[in-house]
Structure 1
Amino acid sequence: MRTGQRSTVRIALIVVGVLLLLYLGNIGVGYFQASRMQLSRLTPSQFTVFGFPARAMEERRWKIIITHEVPKVVEQLREVGLERPELGAEDQQNFKRVPIEEVIRTLPVVLTEQHIEKVWVEERAAETLRAQGKFYVVHLRLTSEGRARLWNYAREQVAQFRALGEKPRDERLLLMVGEQPWASPIISPEVSSSWWLMSRFSMLQSSDVQIFPIYDEEIANTIAQGFDEAKQKALAKAAEGAR
């Protein structure tokens, strides 16, 4: 009986070991391929995630102001005080809104609907006392190329060398559906690490990008619906081109 039990345990350990090797091998292969992927320059599409490189935008005196949870790109006309205008109302005397055509023409494209597999909305309970007891998270599941593109952009911008005494900057993305900006999440420093890219190829990962908190449910659903419509248009265009 003991011999049979030992054999069963040995077989179980072998199976677990093989599965673990396959799991780690899949992660390693995914990371190797993504980190060495040749990435061409992208053009804007119906569903586009732009980069907003802080240093370059600072030179242009551009910044993102968020009012009623909707971002807009403005040009700073003159220096302002210590207040944070991105959290308050737009000051017409200090800022001028940048035409959306110029924004699209200037900002680098990080992702389009082609690099995203799925977008969905999750409702969460707010952890702090607010008038609203819940908020929404927009999840983006990226393709292998999408992960590589986001990781490379984060490495170029978030992990770039800073001079001694240079203050850190928030590196943002700007998500647009058509010509309407809907979200401007800050890129976490973790995204620029090799570990982040490697972890994306784990079967336990379902979401690569989380945009939160969004307190307006309509905005969250508009982003998800905008992706679905952009994906359908892209598939229809590809099918038409294949005829």
Structure 2
Amino acid sequence: MKLVKQWSTARVVTLVMGVLLVLYGVNTVYGYYQLSRMRLHPIAPSSFTLLGFPSREMEERRWKIIITQEVPKVVEVLREQRFGRPELGAEEGAVRRVAIEQVLKVCPVVLTEQHIQDVWLERREAEVLRARPEYFVVHLRLTPEGRARLWHYARTYVARPRALGEPPTDERLLLIVDKQPWAAPIIRSEVASSWWLLSRAAALQTSDVQIQPIFDEEIANEIVNGFHRAQRLARKEAVP
């Protein structure tokens, strides 16, 4: 009798867990469907903005990103150069800096502070021997619309087919705080996949974007503080 009772209890528990898993799966698939079908309209830049920097379109303009002391800037190439990864301290005579106002006007806006729930800083130890024993990671947790916007952008530019013989290029975002670029993270190819969006709909990840490695703590703090300033400003403007 005792064994029968235990067996019945186990069956009930298994049934309940099965129902919960089915509901979780249905909710996840429905969330993915909503995000993938979300109608997204163009948005204007704000005080905290993540711009797209599509490689083909920027190459046509002869624009590229140069990173100097961890700070990116957009420059126009004045003579023939190979377009590829951002150069660390390129030859100044070969390029001309592009005004940030022009960058904001030309580059597509992917995200602003309205599409981000939270930004926080994580300190990590360097995995290999470096001059600096630690680095920083800035995490961004996006809103559902923010995830949809980033995914759609990645599907458009990261996942687009390349011509035969065309070398792969990094697709980057340009993070701008108060008209000052602070980071140019690479968009990983997995962001363009359906699994990435599905995992976000399933709430499997707390951090949607990781900007790393940042070795200058002041830069990392400026990004985090810039987001909170932009949030406070947006709340003030929303008050009638």
3-state SS of the aligned residue for 1:11? helix
Query: Aligned residue for 1:165?
Result: 165
**Offset, 1:161:** 1.6
- Tell me the alpha carbon deviations over residues 40-88 of structure 1, each in whole angstroms, 9 at most, x when there is no partner: 0010001100000000000111000111111000111112479x88342
> Using the alignment, how far apart are the partners of 2:42 and 2:85 within structure 1?
33
Query: Aligned residue for 2:74?
Result: 73
Query: Aligned residue for 2:61?
Result: 60
**Offset, 1:178:** 1.2
What residue ranges of structure 1 are gaps of 5+ in the alignment? Answer: none
Query: Aligned residue for 1:124?
Result: 124
> Using the alignment, how far apart are the partners of 1:26 and 1:211 within structure 2?
30
Query: Aligned residue for 1:180?
Result: 180
**Offset, 1:204:** 2.9
Query: Aligned residue for 2:44?
Result: 43
> Using the alignment, how far apart are the partners of 1:210 and 1:108 within structure 2?
20
Query: Aligned residue for 1:136?
Result: 136
3-state SS of the aligned residue for 1:121? strand
Query: Aligned residue for 1:7?
Result: 8
> Using the alignment, how far apart are the partners of 1:175 and 1:85 within structure 2?
17
Query: Aligned residue for 1:28?
Result: 29
% identical aligned pairs: 59
Query: For the structure 1 residues 193 and 81, does the alpha-carbon distance in structure 2 shift closer, same or farther, using more than 3 Å as the test?
Result: closer
Greater mean deviation of Cα atoms: 19-28 or 228-237: 19-28
3-state SS of the aligned residue for 1:42? coil
Q: Give the letter for the 2:103 counterpart.
A: V
> Using the alignment, how far apart are the partners of 1:54 and 1:87 within structure 2?
14
Aligned partners of 1:170 and 1:186 also within 8 Å:
yes
What residue ranges of structure 2 are gaps of 5+ in the alignment? Answer: none
Query: Aligned residue for 1:230?
Result: 230
> Using the alignment, how far apart are the partners of 1:125 and 1:63 within structure 2?
31
3-state SS of the aligned residue for 2:122? strand
Query: For the structure 1 residues 130 and 87, does the alpha-carbon distance in structure 2 shift closer, same or farther, using more than 3 Å as the test?
Result: farther
Query: For the structure 1 residues 8 and 138, does the alpha-carbon distance in structure 2 shift closer, same or farther, using more than 3 Å as the test?
Result: same
- Tell me the alpha carbon deviations over residues 17-50 of structure 1, each in whole angstroms, 9 at most, x when there is no partner: 1221222122111110011111000100011000
Aligned partners of 1:67 and 1:86 also within 8 Å:
no
Q: Does 1:211 align with 2:172?
A: no
**Offset, 1:187:** 0.4
Per the normalisation by structure 1, the TM-score is 0.94
> Using the alignment, how far apart are the partners of 1:231 and 1:118 within structure 2?
10
- Aligned-residue Cα RMSD (Å) equals 1.5
Q: Give the letter for the 2:54 counterpart.
A: P
Query: For the structure 1 residues 188 and 85, does the alpha-carbon distance in structure 2 shift closer, same or farther, using more than 3 Å as the test?
Result: closer
Q: Give the letter for the 1:167 counterpart.
A: P
Aligned partners of 1:76 and 1:95 also within 8 Å:
yes
